[in-house]
Amino acid sequence: MKVLLLKDAKEDDCGQDPYIRELGLYGLEATLIPVLSFEFLSLSSFSEKLSHPEDYGGLIFTSPRAVEAAQLCLEKNNKTEVWERSLKEKWNAKSVYVVGNATASLVSKIGLDTEGETCGNAEKLAEYICSRESSALPLLFPCGNLKREILPKALKDKGIAMESVTVYQTIPHPGIQGNLNSYYSQQGVPASITFFSPSGLTYSLKHIQELSGDSIDQIKGPRHSKQNCLQLELLRKDCTDAATMFAAIGPTTARALAAQGLPVSCTAETPTPQALATGIRKALQPHGCC
């Protein structure tokens, strides 16, 4: 059974994207199509801030892109030596909070010790930080232009200072339409499509609707309604596998799907390949959404 994941490929130490591997264990043939691109911003300003750990109580990384921005700062400004000699140790004396194992893995590659990665999303990380943070100094938060305000607001409400710096902006991937057209013409309508961010949904939904046609329209409606489940089950029995099930990597993306009137059959319990694969497998089974 074919499933589509709207994300870029990231090989792990085994030389394979972990999402493809985990879904493959359940007999699901996954294809990855990137829908987002990123442009880095204000790296000089961010680099200067990274050079002064004494001004901050710690760091917050909520996306791999923010870590990549830190890596670029070290490479472009010839700071690798001073980072290894002193800055890394000074930052490690403070808290380095992260969301998700993927982000934590990248942070560890620049030599920083992380905490909070099991929180899974910004809401839970905010709770974690609020339960632990006592420094009077602000936390440095490199982020994207589309960052949500849940984390900053939660910290502000608890009197925890934070300094945000926008280090990247999200733009549509230039190959979205062509890659989706190629996939649908060669592979047909997938059994499921997984969205990894609200912005990814925004940039790809129009193309998917045009390519999927009735396979989307027939199952629109309130999430988990009995009518949806019956329609979905009947559609899946069609030998053409024309129905598409929608999955989200987390609650924020699931809410964005619901706002578009699309039923969410699967939301990963945690933003990990294992949790997503388990959720998709369950949702694709008969009566999986009931």
Report pLDDT digits (tens) over 67-90. 999 999 999 867 899 999 999 999
Window from 78-82, 102-106, 203-207, 225-229 with minimum mean pLDDT:
225-229
Which pLDDT value is given to residue 215?
57
How far apart are the C-alpha atoms of 67 and 64, rounded to whole Å? Answer: 5
Which pLDDT value is given to residue 216?
57
pTM greater than 0.85: no
Report pLDDT digits (tens) over 76-127. 867 899 999 999 999 999 999 999 888 999 999 999 999 999 887 888 999 9
Report pLDDT digits (tens) over 13-31. 678 899 999 999 999 999 9
Which pLDDT value is given to residue 39?
96
Which pLDDT value is given to residue 12?
73
